[in-house]
Homo-oligomer: A and B are copies of this chain.
Amino acid sequence: MSFRIGMLIFPDIMQLDMTGPHEVFTKLPDTEVMLIWKTLDPVTAAGGMRILPDVTYDTCPDLDLICIPGGGGMNPLMNDPETLDFVRDQAAKVRYVTSVCTGSLVLGAAGLLRGKRSACHWMSRDMLSEFGAVPDPARVVIDGNYISGGGVTAGIDFGLTVAAEVFGEDVAKSVQLGIEYNPKPPFDAGTPETAGPSVEQAARDAAKDRQAARLDAVKQAAANL
């Protein structure tokens, strides 16, 4: 009996939120990984990459792990009953409920994070509080059977953490060696603290409209809970 992982995809997803852990997951022994969306039509990610879903909400089999990635396109999902119902339904049955980046806000909107610690992209992390969750700045957060990764590239650290949880450290290490994950960022700018105020401000300015829309969507979703 294989370990079955379902990852949500959706228009305007940040593809690396999903493709990082997907690469890790597909290297695990006896593991099936499927991409889930409402239809089987190609989904266009934020950067324009077009990816095909494998199953729909209706045809998705029972999963052992569900993963919700993030990106601009998760904003509308927080108030989409069809998505929230699907996520709640799977969350009640799986062994692990997981997210990468702002995907945790969708779990929050589904009412699944009350009192739980969770990671999120640094720029949207505080919004978790609106759902009764406890924002955690760690790169990967484990709270019971909930495992979450921080922003975008944290998905790789998250994937390896899941690998170790489910299959043990030796398996996780062999996947890490396979993907030569010995990161050497050319700059130390991966957090607001190390990037410095001007880089942080530029990032906040560029994301201003999306973040305002996100906060509105979060508040509306929280009111509906």
CA distance A157 to B197 in the complex (A): 23
CA distance A184 to B155 in the complex (A): 11
Question: Residue A116 at the B interface, CB < 8 A?
Answer: no
Flag if B174 contacts A199 (CB, 8 Å).
Answer: yes
Question: Residue A194 at the B interface, CB < 8 A?
Answer: yes
Copies in the complex: 2
Contact with B along A191-225 (1 / 0, CB 8 A): 11011000110110010000000000000000000
Flag if A192 contacts B178 (CB, 8 Å).
Answer: no
> Cβ of A26: which chain B residues have Cβ within 8 Å of it?
46-49
Flag if B174 contacts A153 (CB, 8 Å).
Answer: no
Contact-residue bracket for chain A: 35 or more
Question: Residue A172 at the B interface, CB < 8 A?
Answer: yes
Flag if B52 contacts A50 (CB, 8 Å).
Answer: yes
Question: Residue A62 at the B interface, CB < 8 A?
Answer: no
- Within 8 Å by CB of A23, from B47, B172, B184, lies B47
Within 8 A of B (CB), among A141-186: 150-154, 156-157, 160-161, 164, 169-170, 172-174, 176-186
Flag if A47 contacts B20 (CB, 8 Å).
Answer: no
Question: Residue A88 at the B interface, CB < 8 A?
Answer: no
Question: Residue A117 at the B interface, CB < 8 A?
Answer: no
Stretch from A11-19, A78-86, A103-111, A127-135 forming part of the interface with B: A11-19
Residue from A26, A170, A189 with most neighbouring chain B CB atoms (10 Å)? A189
Flag if B180 contacts A140 (CB, 8 Å).
Answer: no
Contact A187:B164 (CB < 8 A) given known A51-B50, A179-B151, A180-B121: yes
> Cβ of A199: which chain B residues have Cβ within 8 Å of it?
170, 173-174, 177
CA distance A180 to B199 in the complex (A): 12
Question: Residue A35 at the B interface, CB < 8 A?
Answer: yes
> Cβ of A19: which chain B residues have Cβ within 8 Å of it?
15-16, 19-20, 23, 49
Q: Please give the residue numbers on chain A whose beta carbons come within 8 Å of chain B beta carbons, in ascending order.
A: 14-16, 19-20, 22-23, 25-27, 33, 35, 42, 46-52, 54, 101, 121-122, 139-140, 150-154, 156-157, 160-161, 164, 169-170, 172-174, 176-187, 189-192, 194-195, 199-200, 202-203, 206
List the 3 closest pairs (A to B, CB-CB), nearest first. Answer: A26-B47, A151-B180, A182-B190
